[in-house]
Amino acid sequence: MSVVVWISTKEGAATKAGLEAASFAVALASGSPVTAVVAGELVGDGGLGAVGVGQVLHRAEGLQDSGQWARCVQAAMQQVGASVAVGGHDALGKAVAPRLAVRLGAGLVSGVTALPTGGVVRRNVFSGKAVADVQVRTEQVVYTLTPNAFGVQNGGGGAANVVPFAPEVGAAREVVTGFQAAGSAGQVPLPEAERVVSAGRGLRGPEHWGIVEELAEALHATTACSRPVADIGWRPHHEHVGQTGVTIRPNLYIAAGISGAIQHLAGVNQSKVIVVINTDPEAPFFKAADYGIVGDAFEVLPKLTAAAKALGM
Amino acid sequence: MKILVCISQSPDTTSRIAFTDGDTRFDANGVTYIVNPYDEWYALVRALELKEALGGEVTTVTVGPAASEQVIRKALAIGADDAVRIDAEPTDALQVARWIADYARGKGFDLVLAGKETIDHNGGMVPGMVAELLDMPYVASAAALEVTGGQATVRREAVGGTESLTVALPLVVSAAKGMAEQRIPNMRGIMAARTKPLETVAPAATEPATSVAKFTLPPAKGACRMVPADQPEELIRLLREEAKII
């Protein structure tokens, strides 16, 4: 079963979400060819051969329009005779997948967390409080893959064969006029981050965030915050993790001075390991945590930073 | 400006999550329903702000059974002018999108707004499907939306940040945090909502492309392992040697 995967890129290389989607496509194809679709700047094969992609259809001109992207992926599927398309459940995938599914008349399962087994594919629902096994009733299928669920797999392949691709995609209606980077340079974007250090009102003011940033730096983690902290302007909104902010799924989530309201948990409860640091031993967050420290973040965080640095990470 | 806001009902965040009918359906027994927060706080409120600034009207559309009229009245109380309920219990996002697109087609909406996802199914796919079905541009997970003279300026989620776009109307936008602030309906709004028009529309026959075979609750989390506050280095050791994640 030939599979097409569309890839989000940054500075000519596939993003982590893109490499995960490609890894998922390779596993799904189980030996059949996998074709990646890339638009815009591409350096070499963008890192896609290493995860097992055989061919990259490369449109030299970048695409910003969800409709053009959907046409481009559809054209790639027609060219290689694929009935399955995969993308990351990232900004690009969320915009392209629904259009593509409608164009194909394909069943769409968004935010899958594992390969299909026994005719169903798994995704998280109810903000991580349940999982659903979804059955697809159509021959053609579109999947988007939740970041950090499948991982980047070593496909053992050499370089992918990069082939110029210029299908008819119609006119662009969504025109990008500017880009604003979120977070400090070098930090992994929150939805893709494998480690996250987060803090809440317990930090008592934005001037105290240095100890959070230092621990994040020592652990190569991305910083985040609770909703109240973003709402009162101590931290930018893009750092807010929780029900109405960003949903994350890191391997490690460290929360300092966050009590663990149910809305916050909804955004972080899919983390593999949760560490909670709070002065209040009754904080509800401890019930959802794997490791806990009852203590003052102002004392605990610098010591954690020192211990992490001592490991020479 | 004619604005259509897609409103979904979702279980209150604190609801007990349980399933029925052989774990194929959400058990609504005793559950309080709310307007899906992304639809209400961001999409609906921004639609009302745009109407207040530019004139026009705001219509809400909901796919759901008669019981969903309670959350529709809430949307009317917050300030929508009228509401449409498509009388159906959908199986998948494609059905919802087709019914919404069927309703909206040819009615001259300049803007179709929805939340970026619902807090129950977390799919986030209906707005983009509606855009494709109506052949409109689509901006997903937008944190800001301005409209001037037939043109929208939008800021949306992008890889590693946000990007600004200009898009001609009509278009579909899914709303994320930052687009607007929650509004609490006042008594006048609640009274007015009782008599605002709420039209019921029968759905056209359409087959779902996917269905849920089974819902499962995740295994309960084990007990939290406490580390003494004066030994944080022990936590780092556990994360490396026991959890093996650093």
Q: Which of A114, A151, A104, A105 is nearest to A134 (CA)?
A: A114
The pairing of beta strand B210-216 with beta strand B19-20: unpaired
| CA A6 – CA A70 distance, rounded (Å) | 10
| CA A71 – CA A57 distance, rounded (Å) | 13
Per-residue pLDDT tens over the stretch A256-302: 999 999 999 999 999 999 999 999 999 999 999 999 999 999 999 99
Distance from the Cα of A58 to chain B's closest Cα (Å) equals 19
Per-residue pLDDT tens over the stretch B13-40: 889 999 999 999 999 999 999 999 999 9
Q: Are B169 and B129 in contact (CB under 8 A)?
A: no
| CA A52 – CA A26 distance, rounded (Å) | 6
Q: Are A50 and A106 in contact (CB under 8 A)?
A: no
| CA B164 – CA B166 distance, rounded (Å) | 7
Q: Are A34 and A63 in contact (CB under 8 A)?
A: no
**Inter-chain contact B17–A101, Cβ cutoff 8 Å?**
no
For A130, which of B17, B155, B171 is closest by C-beta distance?
A: B17
pLDDT of residue A184: 67
DSSP collapsed to 3 states, chain A: CCEEEECCEECCEECHHHHHHHHHHHHHHCCCCEEEEEECCCCCCCCCHHHCCCEEEEECCCCCCHHHHHHHHHHHHHHHCCCEEEEECCHHHHHHHHHHHHHHCCEEEEEECCCCECCEEEEEEHHHCEEEEEEECCCCEEEEECCCCCCCCCCCCCCCEEEECCCCCCCCCEEEEEEEECCCCCCCCHHHCCEEEEECHHHCCHHHCHHHHHHHHHCCCEEEECHHHHHCCCCCHHHEECCCCECCCCCEEEEECCCCCHHHHHHHCCCCEEEEEECCCCCHHHHHCCEEEECCHHHHHHHHHHHHHHCCC
Q: Are A256 and A301 in contact (CB under 8 A)?
A: yes
Q: Which of A105, A54, A139 is nearest to B132 (CA)?
A: A105
Lowest mean pLDDT segment, chosen from A187-191, A234-238, B164-168:
A187-191
**Inter-chain contact B128–A95, Cβ cutoff 8 Å?**
yes
Residue B150: Cβ within 10 Å count: 10
- If you measure CA to CA, which chain A residue comes closest to B241? A311
The phi, psi pair for A8, rounded to 5°, reads -85, 140
**Inter-chain contact B239–A291, Cβ cutoff 8 Å?**
yes
pLDDT of residue B234: 95
The yes-or-no verdict on residue A185 having pLDDT over 80 is no
Distance from the Cα of B246 to chain A's closest Cα (Å) equals 8
For B119, which of A96, A243, A275 is closest by C-beta distance?
A: A243
Q: Are B76 and B44 in contact (CB under 8 A)?
A: no
Mutate to test the interface with B, among A124, A125, A235, A311 (most CBs of B within 10 A): A125
Lowest mean pLDDT segment, chosen from A17-31, A199-213, B212-226:
B212-226
Which residues in chain A are contacts of B125 at CB distance < 8 A?
A: 94, 97-98, 101, 108, 110
**Inter-chain contact A10–B157, Cβ cutoff 8 Å?**
no
- If you measure CA to CA, which chain B residue comes closest to A219? B246
Per-residue pLDDT tens over the stretch B145-201: 999 999 999 999 888 889 999 999 999 999 999 999 999 999 999 999 999 999 999
**Inter-chain contact A311–B94, Cβ cutoff 8 Å?**
no
Mutate to test the interface with B, among A110, A229, A276 (most CBs of B within 10 A): A110
Per-residue pLDDT tens over the stretch A4-50: 999 999 999 999 999 999 999 999 999 999 999 999 999 999 999 99
Distance from the Cα of A207 to chain B's closest Cα (Å) equals 23
- Report ipTM (2 d.p.): 0.96
| CA B125 – CA A142 distance, rounded (Å) | 12
**Inter-chain contact B17–A273, Cβ cutoff 8 Å?**
no
Which residue's structure tokens are 């992207």?
A69
Rounded average pLDDT over A104-114:
98
Distance from the Cα of A222 to chain B's closest Cα (Å) equals 12
Distance from the Cα of A210 to chain B's closest Cα (Å) equals 18
What secondary structure letter does DSSP report for B67?
G
**Inter-chain contact B235–A304, Cβ cutoff 8 Å?**
yes
Which residue's structure tokens are 């929650």?
B182
**Inter-chain contact A111–B122, Cβ cutoff 8 Å?**
yes
Residue B147 parent element (H or E): strand B138-148
**Inter-chain contact B165–A110, Cβ cutoff 8 Å?**
no
Q: What is the pTM of this model?
A: 0.95
| CA A176 – CA A247 distance, rounded (Å) | 25
| CA B116 – CA B175 distance, rounded (Å) | 5
**Inter-chain contact A273–B207, Cβ cutoff 8 Å?**
no
| CA B40 – CA B62 distance, rounded (Å) | 12
- If you measure CA to CA, which chain A residue comes closest to B131? A99
Which residues in chain A are contacts of B221 at CB distance < 8 A?
A: 287-288, 290
**Inter-chain contact B246–A237, Cβ cutoff 8 Å?**
no
Q: Please enumerate in sequence order all residues whose Cβ is within 8 A of that of B92, keeping only pairs 6 or more positions apart, or say none.
A: A107, B208, B209, B210, B211
Q: Please enumerate in sequence order all residues whose Cβ is within 8 A of that of B111, keeping only pairs 6 or more positions apart, or say none.
A: B1, B2, B3, B4, B47, B50, B147, B152, B169, B170, B171, B172, B173
- If you measure CA to CA, which chain B residue comes closest to A301? B232
The whole-chain average pLDDT of chain A stands at 95
**Inter-chain contact B162–A238, Cβ cutoff 8 Å?**
yes
Instruction: Find the angle CA(A224)-CA(B36)-CA(A268) to the nearest 5 degrees.
Output: 25
Mutate to test the interface with A, among B122, B227, B238, B244 (most CBs of A within 10 A): B122
Distance from the Cα of B48 to chain A's closest Cα (Å) equals 20
Per-residue pLDDT tens over the stretch A125-137: 999 999 999 999 9
Q: Are A226 and A200 in contact (CB under 8 A)?
A: yes
Q: Which of B228, B245, B233, B230 is nearest to A311 (CA)?
A: B233
Residue A228: Cβ within 10 Å count: 16
Encoded tokens for B87: 């009388």
pLDDT of residue A187: 78
The whole-chain average pLDDT of chain B stands at 96
**Inter-chain contact A102–B129, Cβ cutoff 8 Å?**
yes
Q: Please enumerate in sequence order all residues whose Cβ is within 8 A of that of A53, keeping only pairs 6 or more positions apart, or say none.
A: A5, A22, A25, A26, A34, A35, A36, A45, A155, A157, A160
**Inter-chain contact B166–A177, Cβ cutoff 8 Å?**
yes
| CA B207 – CA B197 distance, rounded (Å) | 30
**Inter-chain contact A182–B11, Cβ cutoff 8 Å?**
no
For A251, which of B160, B212, B245 is closest by C-beta distance?
A: B245
Q: Are A239 and A225 in contact (CB under 8 A)?
A: yes
Lowest mean pLDDT segment, chosen from A29-38, A176-185, A209-218:
A176-185
For A95, which of B13, B140, B213 is closest by C-beta distance?
A: B140
Measured distance between the N- and C-terminal CA atoms of chain A, rounded to whole angstroms = 42
Q: How confident is the model at residue A139 (pLDDT cuts 50, 70, 90)?
A: very high
